[in-house]
């Protein structure tokens, strides 16, 4: 699956997982909305959850790499089919254990597993020392999401995890 990142460049370059993806030729960085290709846009504010059914129509994932403070405004400018990721827990050192606060590489890897591209998810996560931890922390939910037929089923599984968190 092709990986693309709309790169804002407003975070610490040393900690930026989008830049690491680009450095190791796992994703293409785009510095403007116009040059960012359409595909499945990972948008944390989208109404529909990503599901394996989305794989039928797209072979391209697009993530937004920006500050969480500007994500809502930036994400809506991207062309494509917007999908949110379901409940997943961050493994990165900044947000370890925090639900939904994923880095760009975690978001793309989680999406790849849900879409049936686990080998590719493992490959891209090799560029960060905590990549395997992300898959370990989220092993059960990722497996369950990947077995879902559609967005409605993914949301039902997510509801199970959110009920446990409460």
How many residues in the chain? 166
* CA–CA separation, 165 and 89 (whole Å): 11
Say what the pLDDT of residue 58 is: 85
Say what the pLDDT of residue 45 is: 87
Q: Residue ranges of the alpha helices (H) in 11-150?
A: 17-23, 71-75, 104-114, 118-125, 131-137, 139-146
* CA–CA separation, 166 and 159 (whole Å): 11
Please list the pLDDT of the chain residue by residue as tens digits (166 residues): 999 999 987 677 778 899 999 999 999 999 988 999 999 999 988 999 999 999 988 899 999 987 656 555 655 678 899 999 999 999 999 999 999 999 999 999 999 999 999 999 999 999 999 999 999 999 999 999 999 999 999 999 999 988 887 6
The closest alpha carbon to 55, from 118, 135, 127, belongs to 118
* CA–CA separation, 85 and 78 (whole Å): 16
In terms of Cβ atoms closer than 10 Å to its own Cβ (0-12, 13-18, 19+), residue 8 is: middle
Q: Are 113 and 121 in contact (CB under 8 A)?
A: yes
Say what the pLDDT of residue 80 is: 92
Say what the pLDDT of residue 72 is: 59
Q: Where are the domains of the chain?
A: 2-165
* CA–CA separation, 14 and 37 (whole Å): 26
Say what the pLDDT of residue 79 is: 87
Region at 32 (left for phi over 0; alpha for psi -120 to 50; beta for the rest): beta
Helical (H) or strand (E) element with 125:
helix 118-125
Say what the pLDDT of residue 89 is: 97
């Amino acid at each position: 699956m092709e990986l693309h990142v709309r790169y804002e460049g407003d975070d610490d370059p040393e900690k930026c997982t989008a830049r690491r993806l680009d450095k190791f030729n796992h994703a293409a960085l785009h510095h403007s909305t116009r040059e960012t290709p359409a595909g499945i846009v990972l948008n944390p504010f989208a109404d529909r959850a990503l599901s394996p059914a989305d794989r039928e129509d797209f072979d391209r994932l697009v993530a937004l790499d920006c500050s969480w403070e500007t994500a809502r405004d930036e994400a809506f400018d991207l062309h494509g089919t917007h999908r949110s990721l379901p409940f997943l827990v961050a493994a990165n050192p900044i947000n370890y254990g925090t639900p939904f606060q994923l880095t760009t590489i975690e978001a793309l890897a989680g999406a790849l597993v849900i879409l049936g591209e686990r080998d590719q998810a493992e490959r891209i996560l090799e560029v960060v020392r905590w990549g395997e931890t992300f898959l370990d922390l989220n092993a059960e939910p990722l497996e369950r999401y990947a077995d879902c037929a559609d967005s409605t089923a993914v949301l039902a599984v997510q509801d199970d995890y959110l009920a446990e968190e409460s």
